[in-house]
Structures are given as C-alpha cells and as structure tokens.
Amino acid sequence: MISEFTLNLPPYALALTGVVIFVASFARGYSGFGFSAILMAGLLPILPASQLVPLSIALEILASCSLAPRILPDINRRFLAILLVASLIGTPAGVFLLSYFPEDKLSLAVYGVILVSTGLMLLSSWRPFSVALPGLFLAGLVAGAVNGATALSGLVLALFFTSSTVASHTMRATMIAYLFFTDVITGGMLFAADHYDMVTLWRILAFAPIMLVGIWLGSRHFLSTPTESFKNRVLWLLLLFCIAGAGRLVLS
C-alpha cells in the first residue's frame, strides 16, 4: 500500500505535489512542453533537485508514451531528425559552459532571453517565418547547448516553433517526440548513476495516475483550440514559465 511513509512525504507536501503534477501535466498535454518547468518551480521549495529530476524525467517519458498514439501522424520526422542531430552536437557546448559558469546564472540568462523575446512577440505584430533547414539546424544546436547547461531546451524550441508558420499540431507533436528521445537518454544516464531508488519508484507509481488524467484533459483542450489561439496561449505559457523559473532562482 502506498502511503505518506512509503513516499517519504508529509501530508501537506503530498497534497502540494499532487496539485503541481496535475497542473504540470495539463500544460504538457495541452502544449507539448512545460512539465518539468512547472514541477521545478512548484516543488523545489519542498524537495531537492536530486529527487525532483529523476521523478520529472520518468513522468515526462510516461507522458510522451501516453500521447504517442494521438501524435504519431502529426510528427514532422524530417524536422525531428535534424533537431536531434543538431541537439546532440550542441549539448557538449552547454556542458562546457556549465564548467565555467554557475548553472543558476546560465538559467537566468536563458529565462531572460526567452522572456524578452516572448514579450516582444506578444506586444508587437510579428510575422511568422517559414522554417528553413539551416534555421532548424541552428535551433537544434542552441537547444542542445541550452539543454546541456540548463535542461531548458523545451522552452527554446517552443519559442522557435511558435515564431514560425509550422502548424500547431505539427509543432506540438514534433516537440513531444523530441522531448521523448532526450528524456530517454537523460533517464538512462540517471538510472546508470543509481538515481532511481525505491522512494523515487514509489513516487512515480503514486503520481502517474494524476499525471495521466492531467495529460488527457490537456489533450482534449488542445483539440478544441484554433491554431492561432494555441500559439498565442503558448506564448503566455512561456512568459509564465520564465517568470516562475527566474523568480525561483532569484528567491533561492
């Protein structure tokens, strides 16, 4: 039987974790990204990153698997392949930056750039651009570097796709597939480094049903949202994620 003792969480932390995971999974089901950003912003005050990251990655993988049957036809496989290759090339640059600059300062820089870019897009009458292969490869390189340094590549790609003419269903499906592959790689590394103890496994089992309900509700909401409304809402989500993430770093 799963209890507060099995999960090593007092009642208030258990309730807060359930609420945060539900909100994060709704956002993930709707937009295709943002689960980890919300989880970190909401739960770092009560749980250390060393416990949150393995939980987040495992739930992210489960989320992508649950969405797979509905998104497979919409994935742009060419875009996905280019992004993954470019990301793998760019990741070492991010790891290199992490060796010379503190992670919190790098994260603040990423949040700041995305915050300003998103704000300008919301306030101005920006024109979406057509995605060309060089631009896509560059986006993958930047996403890889950002992922290696701060694990915030989802926000970078969301900004890139939202700024483009790529259809909302293609954007969402391709991002979910991209995050699945990067999460599997990260999860494998965490597993090899013994970050998945029994407490973490019990937490995954306990919170998976809450996450799946949130994913389902978010997906249903996406299906009823027009393309332009979807992209505008994604911009607002980006804005909120960046404010929450930057605020967490400043306050800590």
Our count of domains for the chain comes to 1
Range of the domain at 183: 11-251
Tokens of 41: 């912003």
DSSP codes, 226-242? -HHHHHHHHHHHHHHHH
CB 112, CB 159: distance < 8 Å: no
Residue in this structure with the two tokens 């496989």, named with its chain if needed: 77
Q: Quick check: is 158 in a domain?
A: yes
pLDDT for 212 beyond 80 = yes
DSSP state, residue 128: P
Q: Quick check: is 1 in a domain?
A: no
Rounded to an integer, the average pLDDT of 57-85 is 94
R_g (Cα) of the chain, nearest Å: 17
pLDDT for 227 beyond 90 = no
- The pTM score is 0.86
Higher pLDDT, 6 or 97: 97
Q: Quick check: is 4 in a domain?
A: no
> How far, CA to CA in Å, does 13 sit from each of 26, 40, 53, 59, 213?
20, 14, 17, 18, 20
